[in-house]
Amino acid sequence: MAERYNLGVVGYCPPSRFDEDEARRMVNEGFDQVAATHPNTEINIVSGLTHVGVLGIAYEEAQKRGWRTTGIACKKAQEHRLFPVDEQQIVGENWGDESKTFIDSIDGILRVGGGPQSKREVGMVRDKVGETIEFELALITEETRERIADL
C-alpha cells in the first residue's frame, strides 16, 4: 500500500466570479507539481465538500486522475451542492469552524485565488511546515465584464 499524501485545496467560491478555465489550469498545474514531488504516493484531495468554485473544480480534476477525495466542512456547507467525496467530516456550525480540523488533516495546501480564510489557512499550513502552492487568480468584476463586452 502506497503512503498517502493529503493535499488541501482552497480558493474562490460563489459569489466570487473568476475565469473557471484559468482556475482549472492552475489546479492541474498544482496537482502536477504534487504528483511529481510525491511519486508512488496515493494522493487524497481534501477540501470544503461543496461542488462550487475552485473546490468543485479541484474535486472534478482529482476524480479524473483517480485520486481520493475528502470533504471537511461546517454544517452551512450542506446548504450548497455537495461533491460525492470518498470521505466527509462535518465540523461545527459556521464557516471557519472546520479550519483547525482541515489543517490538521492535510500535508500541504494548494490555493487558487481565495479570500481571507483561504490565505489564513495557507499561513497555518506554512506554520506547521507543510508544502504550500499558491496561484493568484483575478476576480471578474462588473467593470471587467463591461470592458470585455466592449472589445
The amino acid at residue 39 is P
pLDDT tens for 98-140 read 999 999 999 999 999 998 889 999 999 999 988 999 999 999 8
Band of the pLDDT at 9, cuts 50, 70, 90?
very high
Give the per-residue pLDDT at 1.
45
Closest of 111, 109, 55 to residue 83, by C-alpha: 55
With 50 as the cut, is the pLDDT of residue 44 above it? Answer: yes
Cβ count near 97 (within 10 Å):
16
With 90 as the cut, is the pLDDT of residue 15 above it? Answer: no
The amino acid at residue 23 is A
Band of the pLDDT at 12, cuts 50, 70, 90?
very high
Helical H segments across the chain, by residue range: 20-37, 53-64, 99-104, 116-127, 142-150
Q: What is the CA radius of gyration of the chain?
A: 15
Give me the residue spans of the domains in the chain: 4-150
Largest separation between any pair of C-alpha atoms in the chain: 55
Yes or no: domain 4-150 corresponds to CATH 3.40.50.450? yes
With 60 as the cut, is the pLDDT of residue 47 above it? Answer: yes
Contacting residues for 102 by C-beta, under 8 A, at least 6 apart = 8, 46, 48, 72, 121
Name residue, grid cell 461542488: 51
Give the per-residue pLDDT at 150.
58
Cβ count near 101 (within 10 Å):
15
With 60 as the cut, is the pLDDT of residue 90 above it? Answer: yes
With 70 as the cut, is the pLDDT of residue 147 above it? Answer: no
Distance, C-alpha 4 to centroid of its chain: 18
The amino acid at residue 64 is K
Mean pLDDT rounded to a whole number for the chain: 91
Give the per-residue pLDDT at 122.
94
With 70 as the cut, is the pLDDT of residue 85 above it? Answer: yes
Please tell me which residue, 114 or 148, carries the higher pLDDT value.
114
User: Can you name the residues that pair with 42 across neighbouring β-strands?
Assistant: 4
pTM, to two decimals:
0.90
Give the per-residue pLDDT at 146.
58
Cell of 75: 454544517
